[in-house]
Structure 1
Amino acid sequence: MDANHLLELVKRYQDNKAFISNEETAKIALVVPFIRSLGYDPSVPREVRLEYTADFVQGDGKKLPDRMDFAIFDQTGTKPLIVIETKPLGTDLKARAQQLARYLAQLPELHFGIITDGCHYLFFGDLENPNVMDPEPFFTFSLEDTKADWAKVAKFLSKFSREAFNATTLITDAENSRYRQGMIDKLAAALKAPGEHEAFLKWLTEDIYKGKRTTAVMERLADVAKEAIEPTLLRVMGDDFLNKLKERIQRLNEGAEPAVAQDGANVVKADSARPFEAEGRAAPDEKGRAAVETTEAELEFFGVVRDICVKHGAAAEDILFRDTASYFNVSFKRPTKWFARFFSNGKRKSIITWVPVEEARAIAAGFDVEAAPAGLGTSRVFIESVPQVWALKALMTRSLELSKTVRDEAPSPEAAAQEDGKPGLKVISG
């Protein structure tokens, strides 16, 4: 499976969701194509059996036939690998997953079950105790998720494909996925509010503070820890992070990264994933106006800002950049609808946005913030390096929101020159 298989399923869901009124339609329209995308053929009973029946032994010893919508078998056709239960669109799937639990309990060789309404997919396993279904799914995805990284989802799902399925390695991978998500959630919670996580705060300060830990001291240490987290993250986003970012920009130039379509669905488009088409450097014109040279730092800035906006629901192709001799603009849909201006030529790098100064100071705590020069924007934030922009994601998204209410600026002299076919401005979409 690759990302395009999932993107086709996303489009199929969007085009047909208004007409999927019951469970049977969801099966035919969405679940069967999903099974095919994993490499199994629903029309071949050796591989996939519909309305698969197993006997469920009740407490009184009587056997009650129990049916699953789909059962996927190994290549011999004798060993069930995955069972799938389908419910109508909008069903509370987790609350209806008990039937999967019965199947995992009845069939010793079965370790994985999926419950879906065609849009949302919940993967359950018996990772804690054999043949006892875990209370929480180890993996989920939704065709409505506009922020999904479909390449990563496809990579994970590929492990369940006909050619790659291996129960032993899958169990390990599923466990690792669950552990990883648990660590992410726990670490994120501790970093957001260290004072609310006593064990974390104790670990963080045990070799630093040697005195008595009174309530007042712990509150003080919690405040200090909160102030230390942002610089720590910025330090982590050092050379290695920057190198990875450059590699990603290179992949974007090669058209290898998926973009996000305007309608909210993720769509892989090689052309739309080329935001940085190489252009020759413009020479000064006959009137002596400065040439526009888009630097690596400016492209890096654009890549970070665009990724921030996409993660918050914007379409990648709507985030544009326009370079001028004085500053580097990032805009939304139209070159004149800017929301971030990057100044990288002076002694200090800075970003100008539409966010009011006091609000910007609150959002960009720890950064030097001042009023922007007249006519250039509202507030200016000084940064040391482009990776710090990740710490300003709330500022970027807030400025993008405010820019939608600001009247388009008139074309600058550089823009007018560009329209006349003279050097001075480049407009390139993401």
Structure 2
Amino acid sequence: MDFIDRIRELATRIPKQLEYIQTEEATKNALIMPFISALGYNVFDPTEVTPELNADIGIKKGEKVDYAILRDGKPIMLFECKHHAADLSKVHASQLYRYFSVTEARFGVLTNGIVYWFYTDLDAPNKMDAKPFFEFSMLDLRDQAVEELKKFSKSVFDLSNILTTANELKYSREIKRIFAEQLAEPSDEFVKFFVAPIYTGKMTQKVREQFAALTRLALRQYISDQVNERLKTALAVESAPPAPAPTELVVLTNSATPTPSEPEHGGIQTTAEELEAFYIIRAILREVVPVKRVVMRDVQSYCGILLDDNNRKPICRLYFNSIVKSIGFFDGEKEARIPLLQMDELYGHAGRLKATVVRYDAAKAPQKAT
């Protein structure tokens, strides 16, 4: 089994294991040690993977790294581990900062066994950067992340190559963050960049506001068009096996005739965007449940995505009938609705969608006798 297969097999097991993992130590044993092993390192050889590596600093004694990966007797990668339910954005990585400065390792990893944040010292030598240069979720494991992760595996580990990649990832990540911010709320400078070649009139406040709205709309439409093209290609490949499409897609409406593209007068119309979102959500959830269990039910005010066509098992709701589209999640006591600027953002919520489905299945599983 090669690296990609090992990582994807591990990712597939995680949703089924989470309800049984109650402690940080269990997180290490069930999620993080198998991850290190998937990278090709022998977790049972202390000369290769050392748990609780001493990292004493001055008068601070007893500081220990959760795991250190060694090469030729020297640490090359440090792991600080948290419980799988921990939100890494709210975790202070102070221990990892301290470990990093007193060892020869060039990479530090902060993880809860699901999300992994990789750090290095691009800003200042031997001082861990404040922001990770690479991050990914095992519940939303994309091909690009797997390719980057492979560079850390034992068989191909090359320090200079990874540092070059780290520099590129750091800046590309920041560029994408800035672009996302501008897409949500474009600055005057950003709007002027697009407006200057096409508008010669006076740039009043009213005109600026109009072009800001047009800029947001044009960019979202462009991105949506690109996603649609990719989606069409993917669907064409998936439809290659001799399985009729109508039996694969289950769309229910409360109109007399359940044909979303041609509703009766005054009925409900399932839009192309809702279908696109449905296909994306199905593609995300196929890793944890058969796709036929994921069903769309369109109503007047929203488009619901259900598990097993059961109203008591809502996965999410699509609110696409207004100018600002949004999606509602059901991973808490109440529905949590957030804006959806573009369809591609659905992939960023993959972990949330999968966790909801896994919770429903876990609830119906028979309890073991005590």
Please report the TM-score for the alignment, with normalisation by the length of structure 2.
0.62
**Cα distance change of structure 1 residues 220 and 101 upon mapping to structure 2, 3 Å threshold:** same
- Partner of residue 169, structure 1: 161
2:171 paired with 1:207? no
Q: State the distance in 2 between where 1:393 and 1:250 align.
A: 22
**Cα distance change of structure 1 residues 36 and 203 upon mapping to structure 2, 3 Å threshold:** same
How far is 1:211 from its partner?
4.0
Q: State the distance in 2 between where 1:6 and 1:72 align.
A: 18
**Cα distance change of structure 1 residues 221 and 305 upon mapping to structure 2, 3 Å threshold:** closer
Matched to 2:240, the amino acid is F
- Partner of residue 124, structure 1: 119
- Where 1:100 maps in the other structure, the secondary structure is helix
Alignment of 1:5-404 (within 5 A): 5-57=6-58, 62=59, 64-74=61-71, 77-94=72-89, 95-107=91-103, 109-143=104-138, 145=139, 148-194=140-186, 197-230=187-220, 232-233=222-223, 237=226, 242=229, 248=234, 252=238, 275-278=239-242, 307-310=279-282, 317-318=291-292, 360=321, 362=323
Matched to 1:237, the amino acid is Q
Q: State the distance in 1 between where 2:277 and 2:194 align.
A: 32
How far is 1:51 from its partner?
1.4
Q: 1:386-416 CA distances to partner (integer Å, 9 max, x unpaired)? A: xxxx97999xxxxxxxxxxxxxxxxxxxxxx
Matched to 2:68, the amino acid is A
Point out where structure 1 has 5 or more consecutive residues left out of the alignment: 253-274, 281-300, 322-330, 336-354, 365-389, 395-430
**Cα distance change of structure 1 residues 190 and 83 upon mapping to structure 2, 3 Å threshold:** same
**Cα distance change of structure 1 residues 10 and 221 upon mapping to structure 2, 3 Å threshold:** closer
How far is 1:186 from its partner?
1.8
**Cα distance change of structure 1 residues 361 and 307 upon mapping to structure 2, 3 Å threshold:** same
Q: State the distance in 1 between where 2:290 and 2:203 align.
A: 49
How far is 1:103 from its partner?
1.8
Q: State the distance in 1 between where 2:160 and 2:188 align.
A: 37
Q: 1:96-131 CA distances to partner (integer Å, 9 max, x unpaired)? A: 311111122122x42211122323322222222222
How far is 1:209 from its partner?
3.0
Q: State the distance in 2 between where 1:247 and 1:10 align.
A: 26
**Cα distance change of structure 1 residues 311 and 97 upon mapping to structure 2, 3 Å threshold:** farther
- Where 1:160 maps in the other structure, the secondary structure is coil
Matched to 1:122, the amino acid is W
- Partner of residue 341, structure 1: none
How far is 1:192 from its partner?
3.3
Number of aligned residue pairs: give it: 283
Confirm or deny: 8 A CA contact 2:133 2:166 kept in the other structure.
yes
Matched to 2:165, the amino acid is D
Q: State the distance in 2 between where 1:117 and 1:334 align.
A: 31
Matched to 1:310, the amino acid is R
Please report the TM-score for the alignment, with normalisation by the length of structure 1.
0.55
Q: 1:2-23 CA distances to partner (integer Å, 9 max, x unpaired)? A: 4432343234433433332323
**Cα distance change of structure 1 residues 198 and 310 upon mapping to structure 2, 3 Å threshold:** farther
Considering only aligned residues, what root-mean-square deviation do their CA atoms show, in Å?
Answer: 4.0
Q: State the distance in 2 between where 1:153 and 1:137 align.
A: 14
How far is 1:66 from its partner?
2.3
Matched to 2:73, the amino acid is T
Point out where structure 2 has 5 or more consecutive residues left out of the alignment: 245-272, 296-304, 310-317, 326-341, 347-370
- Where 1:96 maps in the other structure, the secondary structure is coil
Q: State the distance in 2 between where 1:167 and 1:50 align.
A: 22
Q: State the distance in 2 between where 1:206 and 1:362 align.
A: 26
Q: State the distance in 2 between where 1:155 and 1:47 align.
A: 23
**Cα distance change of structure 1 residues 53 and 218 upon mapping to structure 2, 3 Å threshold:** same
Confirm or deny: 8 A CA contact 1:138 1:174 kept in the other structure.
yes
How far is 1:46 from its partner?
2.5
- Where 1:131 maps in the other structure, the secondary structure is coil
Confirm or deny: 8 A CA contact 2:11 2:141 kept in the other structure.
no
- Where 1:81 maps in the other structure, the secondary structure is strand
Q: State the distance in 2 between where 1:35 and 1:393 align.
A: 29
- Where 2:56 maps in the other structure, the secondary structure is strand
Q: State the distance in 1 between where 2:193 and 2:77 align.
A: 42
- Where 2:118 maps in the other structure, the secondary structure is strand
| Pair member with larger Rg | 1
Q: State the distance in 2 between where 1:99 and 1:391 align.
A: 38
**Cα distance change of structure 1 residues 229 and 250 upon mapping to structure 2, 3 Å threshold:** closer
**Cα distance change of structure 1 residues 11 and 393 upon mapping to structure 2, 3 Å threshold:** closer
Matched to 2:154, the amino acid is R
